[in-house]
Amino acid sequence: MNELKALNKSGLLIMIAAMLFFSACGSRKYSARPGGSPSTAAKAAEAMSHLKSKELSRFINDWTGVQYALGGLDKRGVDCSGFALLLQRNIYGNELPRRSRDQADVVNEKAIANLNEGDLVFFSFGGSAVDHVGVYLNNNFFVHASTTRGVVVDDLSIPAYQRAFVKAGSLKK
């Protein structure tokens, strides 16, 4: 009988951990394919080459490939809201709340066509609430911590991001 209780408890813990993983910072189901097409990679490199801020370019290059870790805030692993928080703090001197849904509350909303380097882009992969954030670069590209690929530069025009897009904007002053 005690073995059955232990199995039920461990099964419940595994289920809760899986739910947290898949609800945080987007879901694997909607991630862009690893590697992307060569043309997407070339366009991402071009977007990086057109950054106005060299500090931003260095920051992104330094963090690219760091693996996703729910609640992470360092190079051992970082989640989407942690990456946005660190980027905003280190590059622009801005403070953000820790969670992506709270970060969405501190922006003045803008159309994608009006975004500037450093603005935030928000998505909902798991329902109606914001559950993922990235930082806009230029030419429809943004940087974020993907649950499957770690910190990457991606194209906002990818259908998965278009479907999940909620809002974008600059920080309220």
The catalytic residue positions are 80, 132, 144
Q: Are 103 and 96 in contact (CB under 8 A)?
A: yes
Identify the burial level of 96 via C-beta atoms within 10 angstroms of its C-beta, where 0-12 means exposed, 13-18 middle and 19 or more buried. buried
Helix (H) or strand (E) holding 108: strand 107-109
- Report CA-CA distances (Å) from 24 to 6, 101, 133, 145: 27, 11, 10, 11
Q: Are 81 and 89 in contact (CB under 8 A)?
A: no
